[in-house]
Chain A
Amino acid sequence: MTETEVFNVLSQIPDPEIPVISIKDLGILQGVKIENNQVFIDITPTYSGCPAMKLVEDLIHESLAGKGFDSVQVISKLTPVWTTDWLSDDAKRRLEEFGIAPPEKTSPNKSWLSAEGPKIIRCPLCKSENTIMVSQFGSTACKAHYKCADCLEPFDYFKCI
């Protein structure tokens, strides 16, 4: 298998928390290198403490088992620093269909302290823009908790970082 072929195989692995997008869509999968029949795979965590990283590593090992490599090494790197800017428009659309409001266009980069300006988050269910933030912390590290003031449904918002 070539590096591109391995990359394509790994691109099929769904994110453990959000199965509608892959680890490639999310930007966790960073690169593949093959040297002397050994594979080195770079991944990066979304958040420092993301508990899904171990599972992602296991899934990578699983999908490359029996492919004839002498060893598979998964290397977790902090840089380039993960950002929601890496999500493609297609991935954002699938997030919304899944019931998670996708992150806004670009991450705030001026001052992290005052980054949280007023913003409009669209309800992924009824598409109303009349929504309220319940908490900046949601069901996983990467999500905030919102509520729609029109259809009254609670929903997750994929935080923009």
Chain B
Amino acid sequence: MDLKEALREFCVRQGDDAVVLSHRVTEWCGHGPILEEDIALSNIGLDLLGQCQSLLNYAGQIKGNGRTADDYVYRRPENLFKNCLLVEQENGNYANTIARHFFYDVYHFYLLEGMQDSKDEFLRGFAQKSIKEVAYHIRHSSNWVLRFGDGTEESHAKIQEAVDFIWRYTGEMFENDEIHRTLAEAGIIPDYETLKSKWDAKVNEILAEATLIRPDQTFMATGGRTGIHSEKLGFLLSEMQYLVRAYPDAKWD
């Protein structure tokens, strides 16, 4: 497989993960359970938005067609979005939001860790910068998993239910297709099997400490990386892209 094309597609996948998750967490803005969490999620959303911008601008540069992050985010239909299904799942209650975030953060952290010595200069710098931000994200979500799991009977039940529900979307993050294999062989991204074992170890550690049971469900939903999404992404995009579609010539003034 063509290395450049694999690299561009990888950046689109990661950029789409970031922008979709960013949009989801900022849906809490003004609705957070407590003010500090409202602010925390908006901060996390902002980090992800900045990361998305870097990745998608880079994807446009690789392609050399002058596309910017804005073009990617605002001018694509849902079947061209390549985010994993996990990040587009709805916020639900706060335990649902935290469980979704936790599983993604652990994956995100180890992926960036493995890209800190990437053979691709941009991704190397990007990873070195972003990992500092994602370290805060993972501390935030794992702290809440611990507080909920090892908290009251009600909070324990809610986070266990949330973990059980979202579990089916975690397998897709580690699907090792030709794109990932090509890039891993070229030393651009870490090997996905190693990534998965690091994820498993961290997730097991936190779940056990939080007195939660790791689901034994083996069925895993798939499709996002090839543009086949759950019904939830369309609603998200229709809100996110509304202004640009309704007023294509709109400009900041």
Contacts and interface: CB of A to CB of B under 8 A. Distances in A.
A77 B58 CA distance: 12
A82 B48 CA distance: 17
Contact of B39 (A47, A77, A112, A145): A145
A137 B26 CA distance: 14
Contacts of B109: 112-113
B30 interface: no
Given A49-B49, A116-B139, A141 B125 contact: no
Interface in B126-141: 126, 128-136, 138-140
A49 B39 contact: no
A137 B126 contact: no
Contacts of B53: 48-49
B40 interface: yes
B150 interface: no
Residues of A in contact with B, size category: 20 to 34
A113 to B, nearest CB: 6
A31 to B, nearest CB: 16
A48 B125 CA distance: 12
| Chain B, interface SS category | helix
Nearest to A111: B135
A139 B39 contact: yes
B132 A145 contact: no
| Chain A, interface SS category | loop
A145 B136 CA distance: 14
Given A136-B139, A137-B40, A139-B39, A49 B126 contact: no
A20 interface: no
Interface in B90-141: 109, 113, 122, 124-126, 128-136, 138-140
Contacts of B49: 48-49
B39 A48 contact: no
Nearest to A135: B36
B50 interface: yes
6 contacts: A48-B49, A48-B50, A48-B53, A79-B128, A134-B36, A137-B40
Interface of B: 36-37, 39-40, 43-51, 53-54, 109, 113, 122, 124-126, 128-136, 138-140
Given A49-B47, A49-B51, A50-B50, 13 more contacts: A47-B50, A48-B49, A49-B45, A49-B53, A78-B126, A81-B128, A113-B138, A116-B139, A136-B140, A137-B136, A137-B140, A139-B39, A141-B133
